[in-house]
Amino acid sequence: MVNFKPVLFMASVVLRALALFMIAPLVLAIYTDGHGVSEFFKSIIITTIASGLFWHKGRSKVFKLGIREMFLLTTGVWIIASAFAALPLMLIQHISYTDAYFETMSGITTTGSTVLSNLDSTAHSVLLWRSILQWLGGIGFVVMGVAVLPYLNVGGMRLFQTESSDWSDKNTSKTQHTAAYVMYVYLSLTILCYFGYLAAGMSSFEAVNHAMTTLSTGGYSTSDQSMAHFSNAAQWNGTFFMFLGGLPFLLLINALHRRDISMLFKDAQIIGFAKLVLTMTVMMSLYLWHKDVFSFSDAIRISMFNIVSVVTTTGFGLTDYGTWGEFTTVLFAALMFTGACSGSTSGGIKIFRFQIALTLFRKQMSQLVHPSGVFRQHYNGRNVNDVIVRSVVAFGSAFIATIVILAAILSIIGLDPITSITGAITAVANVGPGLGPVIGPSGNFASLPDTAKWALSLGMLMGRLEIMTVLVLVTPAFWKG
């Protein structure tokens, strides 16, 4: 039987932290225009009471986390956190709970899709709260990618299993130390990004918000024009820190700890990620320059920004790349699937799965030529066993199937094909904007029916938690004793 007590207890801890973080926009509201003071105060009270109730129901002298509890905990906490984080948005913006939950789920999963418009005139407390949600979601997913998903062997993540992924009692302290190091590096990079934006001409408020949503590869902005509202220097700063957000944080921590940055240039994931960004940037820059869409320097800046934004699933908008022509539309649609490195803040399929698929393809080709030969698969100097290969194949199949089913649901609801297909892709891959006039970089998701928003919210959750973590909860085997 599944033990719900650890889930309830952890939910109480998360809600208590959520209530504490609500104090920041509350204080900002008090010292600025006063818009949102009572609403944030009410939300803090409700969230704190709920946290107390969960704690009362979930407290226990001894907690034993089995594999079922870990799966349920991973999914349940994100759903509950989104449910209460939506309260301030609903109360202040006077939007439906559906819209508020969609916005919050998009924030916490660092997707970046939005139902809000007129951001330039939106209360500062609301803008700060959206950015905080993405920042918290980013650090939460990094810790999950380092410590939880390898333990659960979701989608081949066991390939990255370390001592910090071992949830036995003897390694609890190592897991805690790893989480602390991740937080330190994450916070340090956010501060550096903040100063970079300040130097590029942003105000302090704009820099704080964009630093949080850049490092988390979330993509929420304080302006309807997104990053197009700011200077070229700010866009270069955003490109650099989005790229850093797409790196594997555990490897980054090890490189800093050993003072050996060369480690980063030996990792197969990082090499593949960098090659993808550079190759796509060169191709797109030459295409846009040849078509006289932009000057050569602008083509490089705009291409690299948009490519890094999409590959890292940040979703910042610079210009509507859907209007550049059929070639760029197809290219960006493909890049939406990709994602950056495992153990980063980005969503998507992740680079390492494509690389493992390539090694499997090479092995299969060699096997056809030499049927009696024995060929081993290696990745980053480690042996890739059949368990990891099966997990990667299962994840890829589930990822594509989820997008197809979600796109079919959206089309049944009445959305046009471009909105349905790219909406499903952008939700499951946690990219943010889709393609087309409705949900493209120049639009938003406000006009979609409520049913579509709930379906997309589920898609965002499944994509952020690597699909299988959520799907396993609906299998009969999970609930059997």
Binding residues for K(+): 110-111, 218, 313-314, 430-431
Provide the annotated binding site.
110-111, 218, 313-314, 430-431
The answer to whether the beta carbons of residues 395 and 468 sit under 8 Å apart is yes
Which residues have a Cβ under 8 Å from the Cβ of 284 and sit 6 or more positions away?
A: 299, 303, 306, 307, 328, 331
Which residues have a Cβ under 8 Å from the Cβ of 439 and sit 6 or more positions away?
A: 113, 419, 422, 423, 426, 433, 445, 448
The answer to whether the beta carbons of residues 400 and 467 sit under 8 Å apart is no
The answer to whether the beta carbons of residues 411 and 449 sit under 8 Å apart is no
Element (DSSP H or E) covering residue 472: none
d(CA 176, CA 196): 30
d(CA 481, CA 469): 19
Q: Cα 404–67–144 angle (5° rounding)?
A: 65
Element (DSSP H or E) covering residue 383: strand 382-383
Element (DSSP H or E) covering residue 125: helix 124-143
Distances (CA, A) of 135 to 72, 107, 217, 356: 23, 9, 9, 30
Place of tokens 């009270």: 45
d(CA 410, CA 67): 33
